[in-house]
Amino acid sequence: MTPTWPNFFVAGAPKSGTTALYEFLRQHPDIYLSPIKEPTYIGRADIAAWPWWKDVQKILEANRASLNEYLKGPMDVMHQYRMVLEEEQYLTLFRGVRNQQAIGEGSVSYFWLPSAPAAIAARVPHARMVFVLRNPAERFFSQYLAWSHGNPGRTVRDLFDTAQDPNHQFSMALKPGLYGTNLARFFEAFPREQMHFCLYEDFRANPSHALVGVFRFLGVNPDQPIQTSRVYNAPTLPRMPWLHAWRLRLLGQKGLSRFVPSSLLPFVRRVYHRSRGNIRMAAADRAMLVDYYRNEIRQAEGLIGQDLSAWRTDTARS
């Protein structure tokens, strides 16, 4: 039996609404999406070159048995964050494809992993690429909020300074926002007609309208009704930072699920966390990030043919 490869990718940018897009696309009967959202298989060459690759290997080996068990089953429960770096395992993710026209996955790290665009083109030259682009300063701030869970008391500037070291694991916080550099690699690998761009602001304001454009791009029924009311990956913060810091000192990065019965987990999470609410970046942090990304934004404008001038200003936008 000939293995099935994806023919489209939700390829970034991370922290730009790609999880919501992935979940909305899954509702379309003519679309099949990998039950593991971010297998990252096609980026394995870059991952193997990371200075912290040995740490990744240890995690992969620790999870090997549970991953194989999952792949043998119906895969009806989605696993969002799990690398699948072996080809046989990766192709198993598409075992459930039947008559769907669009077959995809959503590894957003392909957006900034240098070898990924050419690797996708070599394997699936006709692949279609879907991107959601967000103001890179806001994108970085969203990344900071997630990072600050494990690093209480650290500032935006702390993450920015650390991330400028290309050999540091936290360099992943800055690299996705290099839109001009990252997109140039895709434009070298694919013709423009195989790429579709959504702006985060438009997608957030009217997801149904944005989905029509994506559906047309993928060649599926654009009028398929999709439930878009649910919010995915909304950033949260600890209600009691002192308690969170104490927990990290005692238990490290172990999740609440390790200590709380699954029946109580939703309640405990609601008590433990609060929504981001109206938390915004400090003006100085915004100016720093806008200045850092300004030329990358200009380059991206020229590539995708859209006005991104609002992202080059220091003025906060909702």
Task: Write down the pLDDT at residue 36.
Answer: 94
Task: Write down the pLDDT at residue 186.
Answer: 98
Task: Write down the pLDDT at residue 166.
Answer: 87
In a domain, 225, yes or no: yes
**Residue 98: helix, strand or coil by DSSP?**
coil
Whether the Cβ atoms of residue 163 and residue 141 lie closer than 8 Å to each other? no
Residues 2, 31: Cα–Cα separation, whole Å: 19
In a domain, 271, yes or no: no
Query: CA 206, 207, 211: angle at the middle one, nearest 5?
Result: 125
In a domain, 50, yes or no: yes
Q: Mean pLDDT for each consecutive 10-residue tract of the chain (318 residues)? A: 92 93 96 95 96 93 91 81 91 96 96 98 97 97 84 89 91 95 98 98 95 98 94 64 52 59 62 66 95 97 96 70
In a domain, 249, yes or no: no
CATH number at residue 300: 3.40.50.300
Question: What is the helix (H) or strand (E) element at residue 315, kind and residue range?
Answer: none
The percent helix, strand, coil of the chain (3-state, each to 5) is: 50, 10, 40
In a domain, 256, yes or no: no
In a domain, 35, yes or no: yes
Nearest-CA neighbor of 152 among 286, 265, 243? Answer: 243
In a domain, 57, yes or no: yes
Task: Write down the pLDDT at residue 141.
Answer: 94
In a domain, 68, yes or no: yes
Total domains, the chain: 1
HEC secondary structure over 252-293: CCCCHHHCCCCCCHHHHHHHHEEECCCCCCCHHHHHHHHHHH
- 192 is in which domain, residue-wise? 8-235+276-312
